[in-house]
């Protein structure tokens, strides 16, 4: 059901509150088309495939430190989200993990049991631009753009390799927005 991906986790000496931004994205075999520079009036040319096999990448990033946690799932639902929350809570048991997330239906599942060291903060509906992890998804999909993969396993290998190279410093630089960092002066 879920496969662990590498997570970047410096061992913090200081315990307390940790602020996370969480979201999910669909990654599949259908070619991701992006802009290309061409001559005026010339459409970009690239090979594409229309295979709709996909999987979901659940992720959480800490904008202040650049720490991250990634899990792969075959689908989106409350059970997968429950597993993700439990993994995050068990990975950081000594912290109160405050998680910013969207209003996906499965985030509000009646069967969801929030771990004791987790607090969920829901952003306003239809406002993905408020969640810094969206920029991480943009980076991943830019890396995958115009590529063609034979199967999901080779795509997963590419994504996993990319996430392993994604340093804490890079994640912090693209997700550490000033208004978030200024609001979290004492939060890890």
What ranges do the domains of the chain cover?
2-9+17-35+44-183
| Alpha helix segments (H runs only) across the chain | 78-91, 133-144, 152-165, 168-175, 178-183
- Cα–Cα distance between 19 and 88 in angstroms, integer? 12
Residue whose pair of structure tokens reads 């997963």 in the numeric block: 156
Question: Mean pLDDT in runs of 10 for the chain (188 residues)?
Answer: 50 71 96 86 84 95 96 96 98 96 93 96 94 96 93 96 94 91 72
Stated pTM of the model: 0.85
**Given this model, what pLDDT does residue 153 score?**
96
Both tokens of 31, joined, read 């070619």
**Given this model, what pLDDT does residue 19 score?**
96
If one counts every other C-beta atom within 10 angstroms of the C-beta of residue 117, the result is: 17
Q: How many residues does the chain have?
A: 188
The correct answer on CATH 3.30.70.2190 for the domain covering 2-9+17-35+44-183 is no
């Amino acid at each position: 059901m879920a496969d662990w991906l590498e997570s970047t986790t410096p061992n913090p000496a200081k315990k307390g509150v940790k602020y996370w931004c969480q979201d999910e994205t669909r990654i599949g075999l259908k070619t991701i088309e992006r802009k290309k520079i061409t001559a005026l009036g010339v459409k970009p040319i690239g090979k594409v495939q229309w295979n709709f096999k996909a999987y979901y990448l659940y992720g959480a990033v800490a904008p202040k430190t650049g720490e991250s946690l990634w899990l792969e799932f075959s689908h989106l639902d409350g059970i997968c989200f429950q597993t993700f929350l439990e993994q995050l809570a068990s990975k950081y048991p000594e912290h109160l993990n405050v998680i910013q997330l969207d209003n996906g239906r499965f985030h509000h599942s009646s069967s969801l049991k929030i771990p004791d060291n987790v607090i969920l903060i829901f952003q306003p509906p239809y406002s993905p631009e408020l969640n810094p992890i969206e920029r991480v998804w943009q980076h991943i999909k830019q890396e995958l753009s115009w590529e063609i993969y034979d199967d999901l396993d080779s795509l997963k290998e590419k994504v996993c390799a990319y996430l392993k190279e994604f340093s804490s410093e890079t994640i912090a630089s693209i997700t550490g927005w000033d208004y978030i960092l200024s609001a979290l002066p004492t939060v890890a």
